[in-house]
Structure 1
């Protein structure tokens, strides 16, 4: 019994000693410690509450001298304790500026959070974490606080004093479960596609998964899978967003407005997807920072961060080869370079032959028998970007891009036993450059100053031996712009943006013919300026952006004011609603001139508004929708209405008797977009449907209101993605949509005389529709690694698996040998076409 009491007593003593030792080592607020020391030592500390708050230290030992006590306090804090006399002690900063560091981790997985934002509140200091989640800042005011934030995680505010340590403190961020993150759909349809809170869709090419028929993350082909986005003729140069024409899409590449979008006359994108990291598509509710593009805004952005790592890659498909590299020059200086060139002028692959036939089926000799044709066609594009971090708060980015298509076409054909030779050339290119200076003046206020120029040219020549006629066409667009944007963060949830824009655009069109002698040159220049402002609110379940843009056109002495609105409200964890609206304008359009066309490849030439015959195009659009998301099931339905005024008949590509008469009109489109997407660990399947009714109104036509040439009433697409393993994936899908409207000749009176010419006598416009369009596509992808550093991907794609002859356009030409003196010309989509790509990245 005595031994039991002894053991209990020893245990009690050890436990109390352990508790005492734990309590003695526990850090306490400095303010409470100083109060206790004042009583124990009968002294008085003189200090500012702000200087000592949020400082925690261990309790000093008892019964030490006043000198040792002050030495201990000086050592444990970055404050200076100094005696004035035997009773008073002053407390002040030993160093006004300190160095801080930390490691940011996911509170659940303990994984480091790369590129976490670290801002010193109220000062011009900030940085981001590296791959290991580490950050370090020098010369931080000792009394400052830091905001640490990462997308989809709760923001944390921490004092600089807490991060003042020789051992960098670990900072844990918790996932945000209540508030909406910037990205509300981290995986949308396929890997690399995201849905943003503001309604825009973003393609991250680095994380791109797989889509039916695609062997690469082709930028403009990919966005065609989204509801409301069509291509009336399968061409990415003719993307139609909610019933708008292709020239009503604002294309921005790293802030440069681009006027050329496709290689191979629109069958593939002109932008290398492997250096273009992110693409966002906005159909409505656009930020007031952007003008032009009354149908959509398509922003393409290259990597904007200095990685300090050498990386790159390269590959080829059955049309071209490309390579890109990111080269660190200094710690704060890096260069990104990409280049791509076709080998179609050297090797004729099956893919090239199909693309070539598809491009040249609608040309000036489409009804002739070709005996011999020799063509040299190639395209290339290259770009480079310089990234320079002047300091933590000032960065400079400069980039350049050059895109070119080149065709030399020599052809011999026989008509009525006569051999005729034609020599044609076509050169189409777009150069662009941009320089950008971003400055963080303090934790809340930043500015962005940018300048760009864009130079687009199409230069064509055609020699017809039969008529001994030589014809040239030249179209040139030169645009420059200076833009100053400022952003003020009123709070973590409320941002205020203002901007000023100065823009000049000039367009020149020249046509010459030698027999008979004819020459015509049109050149117009327009100077415009704009001021915009918007406020953005994002907290918990609510996102709202309200903006207005005031545009002034110098030549016309005209103001155009455009309000914008974008609201999203999360009703509960599964259901949200959205409201979007905007007014927009644009001053450029593409003229489609059939009478002055000789190759049939590039009918479109850019023209500039003169506010009379070619007015400023103005649009108004509103949309309302709801989205449901639960258990990886996503359902979205959106109704929309859009009206565009100021369009001209010469821009619409009419095949009728009034195609050469200029008339100003409008189009109205209303419809519903529906999308359902279900995902599992290995499967992603989706179905989208768009219903739209799209009508023109032109006073010169009879009837005045009729179907738009881009009226696709019903459009249905579906796809199935399956990941057999982490490395092997397939995608299968199809498209079924209504045929486009077209115009037929008057039955029994198919041709009429116009002066000395016989022309087709067309009926009322767009009264007939082509047969439904149907296509099935398949693609597969396999990833494998040569080493831990070198990774490879091989992809195989098949377009139009059933080899269906889809008519995508139809018109009539005079043919006196036919029964009715006219001959119908049909344009067909791509036949069954395989393609293959192989890539290596490091």
Structure 2
């Protein structure tokens, strides 16, 4: 196993090196290849051409087209002597333009250069050569996503390449603010948030533009126990967040069993985050939708990246196979096989505290006979191509794996037992998009998402073996058609099919107990959505309706969606959002020590008995004020989710072993103010939440939500230049609710049936959480590559925070023990990144 992992690790690092050679080849080599395939002969002076390199083209094209492509890229001309002999000459005089992106680090391909006579398209070197001065006054440059630019031909000088810089064009109808908290994070007019990792600058505590970490900087979103796999949005559980990767649902979001994002930050191209008012084309995700796309615009040239920090190393290669096709290969691998770092040790101590792994050494009859081996990796593969100007196709694949291995030994008998816990996901999706006309487009997507959590728990004391498995197979098809009725109106129709199968196994050898559960649910959905822009684009409305049919229950569920914004002035917008959604999946906890207590949640399907279909109803009013360098946002909301199961709420009190169905409701307000001046950006956000459960079959029936944070605030200051980036932020929120015990009589029925004597559920709170984080980086720029080094520090002042508190009964001594989980300690993480 370790040899395989080592090979993977080496391959990740070698990807950029092995791939780079495929980009450019010597012109002479290319001409020889054409000679062999086209049965022609080129005559040239080798000294003239030996320094020229060219992007390799598909040689199955016609010979004339190939030579035309070469003459555009290089200062050469071809003269036909006869049908098989061609003379190649280097031009003594030429005119040239070289087109760059606004950051000056990229040449741009697929730029259309229009003159009076014809239109020329640039290739990967972004350069266009003319044998003579173009016979026109101006050249007009077009590229999707960039502003149109005109240049005067008289400005061109012979034998010199004029540098032309194209600037990106932003659709101001969709984006309200560019640079929300940091560059690369944008606030949209519908109050959703978009993350563009490629443009991301800096946020405190982060080494990369990680979407799951970035989410926690937004008002109303928090992880109470600092785990990526436990993000709470407006009082919701993590399973109520819908994570989509290229259209496929993800059932695993964390590496290191929740401490690190399982999504490679370098592969995401666009991330959209919704807390309310999402499209009717989304279902599930009662608390939030996180839609991640790795689909990029056509590459101008191949790009490569190598990254490493104190936890992992990563590599990525974006290969421009042609002007229409590109391939992406990326991977990450934990460094724990190579070196132990203080960062790794701190994460390890955090995630395994108060679990069966850490409790082995506290048992006087047991010990760990070898070091705990924890590994994780992920790999991504993506291919996308354009068959023509109107049809594109892509296929995506991703693998995520976490593995924990350790051996426990009976001190008295020296008997050893191996234990392991694996968590893995495999996702494949394919998408075909076609424009039937300027106003009609079609999209079809199919995906398969597989998730497996498996634990083998072997006891060295009594030879008992417990095997546990949670497995999810999710297959789906999504069809969509968009009709642009006019510049003001757009109508969309869609159909989605989804089949989810979930299996849960618990198998014990002593005594022999075998429990196997499997459930399958098919869902058909029809979607209609209408978008309108009225009153000179001041009023924008999105109205959608989704109808879900659950075949197992022979039941329809309808989901209306509304998102409406009105620009009272150029600086001030008001937004109204409302939606209703349903969810058939949930993560529940049977026992707190399932899967060693590390990842104790397991996915289950609604059965309309013990686990009902959950329903969300939510309404929100917001405002955005933006003037000059000031931004102020504010919103109030009401959210209610019905038919939750108590097993999904992580109760560790008198409700822990009860199977109840109930509701929770949250109302609150969220605010953010931001000021940008010169190279500084200062921001502050605040969230107020009041969230309560209601379980009719329990007394008291109403009590605070486990994930309520009444007050939450965060502030940050960043300083950025083209090379130096610094960011400092502070986070505060009120302690999560906890259930106290009766201190005068902590144990009820001590003689017959001892149990903990709890007071009312969640009638107290643990101490407040405070943390200060920092990140600094410096970028070195060279003509062909850039390097970035930096340092991120979590918990800069080493503040001791309690993230959870609960009680358990020690039956051996009949005593109640108070257990506290602590936050991550002062944790530095150095990093470097090279792009070329």
Give how far 1:306 is off: 2.5
Tell me the secondary structure at the aligned position of residue 236 of structure 1: coil
Tell me the secondary structure at the aligned position of residue 337 of structure 2: coil
Aligned partner of 2:649 in structure 1 is: 652
Give how far 1:749 is off: 3.3
Aligned partner of 1:13 in structure 2 is: none
Give how far 1:806 is off: 0.7
Give how far 1:237 is off: 0.5
Aligned partner of 1:137 in structure 2 is: none
Q: Which residue of 233, 250, 267 maps to 2:242? A: 250
The C-alpha deviation readout for 1:162-218, integer Å capped at 9, x for no partner, is xxxxxxxxx9999999x9432111111111111112221111111111111111112
Give how far 1:652 is off: 0.7
Tell me, yes or no, if the aligned pair for 1:260 and 1:456 is still in contact at 8 Å.
Answer: yes
Matches within 5 A, 1:17-56: none
The C-alpha deviation readout for 1:397-455, integer Å capped at 9, x for no partner, is 101000000110224588xx998966320110010000101000011000001100100
Matches within 5 A, 1:596-675: 597=594, 599-675=596-672
Q: Which residue of 751, 763, 766 maps to 2:762? A: 766
Q: What is the CA–CA distance in structure 2 between the aligned matches of 1:627 and 1:128, rounded to whole Å?
A: 41
The C-alpha deviation readout for 1:24-53, integer Å capped at 9, x for no partner, is xxxxxxxxxxxxxxxxxxxxxxxxxxxxxx
Query: Is it true that 1:835 corresponds to 2:832 in the alignment?
Result: no
Aligned partner of 1:564 in structure 2 is: 561
Query: Is it true that 1:488 corresponds to 2:480 in the alignment?
Result: no
The CA RMSD measured in Å over matched residues stands at 3.4
Aligned partner of 1:184 in structure 2 is: 176
Q: Which residue of 562, 569, 573 maps to 2:570? A: 573
Q: What is the CA–CA distance in structure 1 between the aligned matches of 2:641 and 2:670, rounded to whole Å?
A: 19
Tell me the secondary structure at the aligned position of residue 347 of structure 2: helix
Q: What is the CA–CA distance in structure 2 between the aligned matches of 1:730 and 1:345, rounded to whole Å?
A: 32
Q: Which residue of 703, 707, 710 maps to 2:704? A: 707
Give how far 1:285 is off: 0.5
Q: Which residue of 387, 400, 404 maps to 1:403? A: 400
Give how far 1:700 is off: 2.6
Aligned partner of 1:328 in structure 2 is: 320
Q: What is the CA–CA distance in structure 1 between the aligned matches of 2:165 and 2:684, rounded to whole Å?
A: 40
Aligned partner of 1:824 in structure 2 is: 818
Matches within 5 A, 1:78-97: none
Aligned partner of 1:343 in structure 2 is: 335
Greater Cα shift, 296-305 or 705-714: 296-305
Query: What is the number of residues matched between the two proteins?
Result: 704
Q: Which residue of 740, 744, 759 maps to 1:744? A: 740
Give how far 1:385 is off: 0.6
Q: What is the CA–CA distance in structure 2 between the aligned matches of 1:445 and 1:754, rounded to whole Å?
A: 73
Query: Is it true that 1:784 corresponds to 2:776 in the alignment?
Result: no
Matches within 5 A, 1:415-564: 423-538=418-533, 540-564=537-561
Tell me, yes or no, if the aligned pair for 1:621 and 1:643 is still in contact at 8 Å.
Answer: yes
Q: What is the CA–CA distance in structure 2 between the aligned matches of 1:641 and 1:261, rounded to whole Å?
A: 27
Q: TM-score by structure 1 length?
A: 0.78
Q: What is the CA–CA distance in structure 2 between the aligned matches of 1:421 and 1:348, rounded to whole Å?
A: 25
Matches within 5 A, 1:88-237: 180-237=172-229
Residues 704 and 175 (structure 1 numbering): CA distance in 2 closer, same or farther, change over 3 Å? Answer: same
Aligned partner of 1:812 in structure 2 is: 807
Tell me the secondary structure at the aligned position of residue 372 of structure 2: strand
Give how far 1:344 is off: 1.2
Q: What is the CA–CA distance in structure 2 between the aligned matches of 1:155 and 1:754, rounded to whole Å?
A: 83
Tell me, yes or no, if the aligned pair for 1:471 and 1:513 is still in contact at 8 Å.
Answer: yes
Q: TM-score by structure 2 length?
A: 0.79
Residues 175 and 517 (structure 1 numbering): CA distance in 2 closer, same or farther, change over 3 Å? Answer: closer
Tell me the secondary structure at the aligned position of residue 465 of structure 1: coil
Give how far 1:243 is off: 1.2
Q: What is the CA–CA distance in structure 2 between the aligned matches of 1:187 and 1:616, rounded to whole Å?
A: 39
Aligned partner of 2:355 in structure 1 is: 363
Aligned partner of 2:299 in structure 1 is: 307
Q: What is the CA–CA distance in structure 2 between the aligned matches of 1:839 and 1:407, rounded to whole Å?
A: 28
Aligned partner of 1:381 in structure 2 is: 378
Tell me, yes or no, if the aligned pair for 1:113 and 1:129 is still in contact at 8 Å.
Answer: no
The C-alpha deviation readout for 1:261-293, integer Å capped at 9, x for no partner, is 000111111011111122110110010111110
Q: What is the CA–CA distance in structure 1 between the aligned matches of 2:301 and 2:126, rounded to whole Å?
A: 14
Residues 151 and 740 (structure 1 numbering): CA distance in 2 closer, same or farther, change over 3 Å? Answer: same
Give how far 1:541 is off: 2.3
Residues 563 and 153 (structure 1 numbering): CA distance in 2 closer, same or farther, change over 3 Å? Answer: farther
Give how far 1:466 is off: 1.9
Q: What is the CA–CA distance in structure 1 between the aligned matches of 2:452 and 2:330, rounded to whole Å?
A: 22
Aligned partner of 1:354 in structure 2 is: 346
Q: What is the CA–CA distance in structure 2 between the aligned matches of 1:133 and 1:181, rounded to whole Å?
A: 33
Aligned partner of 1:21 in structure 2 is: none
Give how far 1:796 is off: 0.3
Tell me the secondary structure at the aligned position of residue 571 of structure 1: strand
Residues 487 and 113 (structure 1 numbering): CA distance in 2 closer, same or farther, change over 3 Å? Answer: farther
The C-alpha deviation readout for 1:512-535, integer Å capped at 9, x for no partner, is 112222111110000110000111
Give how far 1:374 is off: 1.4
Tell me the secondary structure at the aligned position of residue 314 of structure 1: strand
Tell me the secondary structure at the aligned position of residue 225 of structure 1: coil
Residues 487 and 659 (structure 1 numbering): CA distance in 2 closer, same or farther, change over 3 Å? Answer: same
Residues 763 and 466 (structure 1 numbering): CA distance in 2 closer, same or farther, change over 3 Å? Answer: farther
Tell me, yes or no, if the aligned pair for 2:123 and 2:300 is still in contact at 8 Å.
Answer: no
Q: Which has the larger radius of gyration?
A: 1
Q: What is the CA–CA distance in structure 2 between the aligned matches of 1:239 and 1:442, rounded to whole Å?
A: 42
Tell me, yes or no, if the aligned pair for 2:219 and 2:671 is still in contact at 8 Å.
Answer: yes
| Consecutive unaligned residues in structure 2, runs of 5 or more | 1-96, 113-118, 129-139, 151-163
Q: What is the CA–CA distance in structure 1 between the aligned matches of 2:424 and 2:457, rounded to whole Å?
A: 18
Tell me the secondary structure at the aligned position of residue 191 of structure 1: strand
Tell me, yes or no, if the aligned pair for 2:717 and 2:728 is still in contact at 8 Å.
Answer: yes
Q: What is the CA–CA distance in structure 1 between the aligned matches of 2:546 and 2:107, rounded to whole Å?
A: 38
Q: What is the CA–CA distance in structure 2 between the aligned matches of 1:307 and 1:151, rounded to whole Å?
A: 13
The C-alpha deviation readout for 1:96-129, integer Å capped at 9, x for no partner, is xxxxxxx9999x99xx9979999xxxxxx99999
Aligned partner of 1:697 in structure 2 is: 694
Residues 147 and 349 (structure 1 numbering): CA distance in 2 closer, same or farther, change over 3 Å? Answer: closer
Aligned partner of 2:8 in structure 1 is: none
Tell me the secondary structure at the aligned position of residue 222 of structure 1: helix
Tell me the secondary structure at the aligned position of residue 393 of structure 2: strand
Tell me, yes or no, if the aligned pair for 2:401 and 2:423 is still in contact at 8 Å.
Answer: yes
Aligned partner of 2:798 in structure 1 is: 803
Tell me, yes or no, if the aligned pair for 2:146 and 2:166 is still in contact at 8 Å.
Answer: no
Give how far 1:308 is off: 4.9
Aligned partner of 1:85 in structure 2 is: none
Tell me, yes or no, if the aligned pair for 1:104 and 1:116 is still in contact at 8 Å.
Answer: no
Tell me, yes or no, if the aligned pair for 2:109 and 2:301 is still in contact at 8 Å.
Answer: no
Greater Cα shift, 419-428 or 453-462: 419-428
Tell me, yes or no, if the aligned pair for 1:650 and 1:659 is still in contact at 8 Å.
Answer: yes
Q: What is the CA–CA distance in structure 2 between the aligned matches of 1:374 and 1:328, rounded to whole Å?
A: 44
